[in-house]
């Protein structure tokens, strides 16, 4: 295996403006579950800056700790060591400043599309007039293309439609940071593709700081400004950041023929493949049985003394 693919991609020597300040910083964060022999060390020494207005994608394998990372950023889990800081304040619990969309949309089954979104809007924007809140809800329903289904309840919607409601509900709360934890993971390829385009369009309009967790390299390149791989666990750490040097607005169909897109897809995929192979090799080495030490014995005599035979 080539070691070169594990190295940080070379940055171009063009002078770039300084990156914007981080909105959230993870500093030397480690997290595991359980204790003693049953302890599962999931994340180890994670250092990550999520910059204001950027779209960052974390790509990684199943079980590497992606959801754990999102929950830490959301304040739903606390680090075992290290800290997570948002605008100079250590994150100590969940907050409406950080909106999350999970893979399994958790909609209230007795409320309609409008009702599910309005519930959150009414809670966050209590100080707005009824008319303002109504218009705000309608804007986000329209943004995700569900105006024709406002009166439907979740069981009357397809998976893709439910995920749109979930997205609209979180976007409508206007969080400072949007945390998308494999939001399209449960959808079929076609619906996934349509929703990718929609997220892209919405993000290009709103430019909210956004962190997307995904296992789909193409999706990460289409949407993000920067891609950071999460190496396989246990004790998963972050790999080198890959910068996505593709102009916006982006068009998925056109990107398929774009050389920068293809090169980046190869670089990220090769990195992930190499790092997984390394993790497997390390695992195999550490689980190999130690060599057995044979006792230093010398045979004395194989002859059976006379009279004892039989």
Ligand X SMILES: Nc1ncnc2c1ncn2[C@@H]1O[C@H](COP(=O)(O)OP(=O)(O)OP(=O)(O)O)[C@@H](O)[C@H]1O
The residues of the shown chain that bind ligand X, judged by CB under 6 A, are 33, 40, 42, 60, 62-68
C-beta of residue 59 within 8 angstroms of C-beta of residue 140: no
**Smallest distance from ligand X to CB 67, Å:** 3
- Alpha-carbon distance values, 164 to 153, 169, 180, 184, 198 (Å): 13, 8, 12, 10, 9
**Smallest distance from ligand X to CB 68, Å:** 3
**Smallest distance from ligand X to CB 293, Å:** 35
Residue closer to ligand X, measured from CB, 40 or 95: 40
Residue closer to ligand X, measured from CB, 31 or 114: 31
Residue closer to ligand X, measured from CB, 106 or 251: 106
**Smallest distance from ligand X to CB 236, Å:** 8
Question: Nearest CA to 187 among 160, 217, 214?
Answer: 160
> Tokens standing for 3?
């070691």
Q: What are phi and psi of 24, to 5 degrees?
A: -130, 135
Residue closer to ligand X, measured from CB, 202 or 211: 211
Residue closer to ligand X, measured from CB, 40 or 191: 40
Answer positive or negative: Cα dihedral of 211, 260, 206, 156.
negative
> Tokens standing for 137?
């809800």
Residue closer to ligand X, measured from CB, 38 or 301: 38
**Smallest distance from ligand X to CB 44, Å:** 12
Residue closer to ligand X, measured from CB, 71 or 114: 71
Residue closer to ligand X, measured from CB, 80 or 122: 80
**Alpha-carbon distance 66 to 98, whole Å?**
17
**Smallest distance from ligand X to CB 108, Å:** 24
**Smallest distance from ligand X to CB 259, Å:** 30
Residue closer to ligand X, measured from CB, 66 or 114: 66
**Smallest distance from ligand X to CB 40, Å:** 5
**Alpha-carbon distance 197 to 204, whole Å?**
10
**Smallest distance from ligand X to CB 92, Å:** 19
């Amino acid at each position: 295996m080539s070691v070169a693919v594990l190295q940080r991609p070379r940055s171009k020597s063009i002078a770039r403006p300084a990156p914007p300040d981080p909105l959230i910083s993870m500093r030397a964060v480690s997290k595991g579950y359980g204790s003693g022999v049953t302890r599962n060390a999931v994340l180890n020494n994670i250092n990550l800056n999520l910059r204001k207005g950027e779209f960052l994608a974390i790509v990684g394998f199943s079980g590497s700790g992606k959801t754990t990372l999102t929950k830490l950023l959301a304040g739903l889990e606390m680090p075992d060591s290290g800290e997570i800081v948002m605008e100079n304040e250590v994150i100590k619990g969940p907050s409406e400043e950080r909106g999350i969309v999970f893979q399994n949309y958790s909609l209230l089954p007795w409320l309609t599309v409008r009702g599910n979104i309005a519930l959150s809007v009414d809670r966050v924007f209590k100080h707005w007039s009824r008319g303002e809140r109504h218009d705000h809800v309608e804007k986000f329903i329209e943004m995700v293309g569900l105006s024709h289904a406002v009166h439907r309840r979740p069981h009357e919607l397809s998976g893709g439609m439910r995920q749109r409601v979930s997205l609209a509900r979180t976007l409508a709360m206007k969080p400072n940071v949007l945390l998308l934890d494999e939001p399209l993971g449960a959808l079929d390829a076609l619906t996934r593709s349509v929703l990718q385009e929609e997220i892209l369009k919405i993000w290009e309009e709103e430019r909210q700081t956004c962190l997307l967790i995904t296992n789909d390299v193409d999706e990460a390149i289409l949407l993000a400004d920067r891609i950071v791989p999460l190496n396989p666990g246990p004790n998963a750490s972050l790999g080198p950041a890959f910068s996505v040097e593709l102009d916006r607005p982006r068009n998925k169909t056109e990107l398929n023929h774009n050389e920068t897109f293809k090169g980046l897809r190869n670089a990220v995929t090769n990195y992930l493949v190499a790092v997984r192979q390394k993790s497997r090799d390390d695992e195999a080495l550490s689980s190999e049985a130690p060599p057995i030490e044979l006792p230093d014995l010398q045979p004395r005599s194989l002859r059976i003394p006379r009279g004892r035979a039989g």
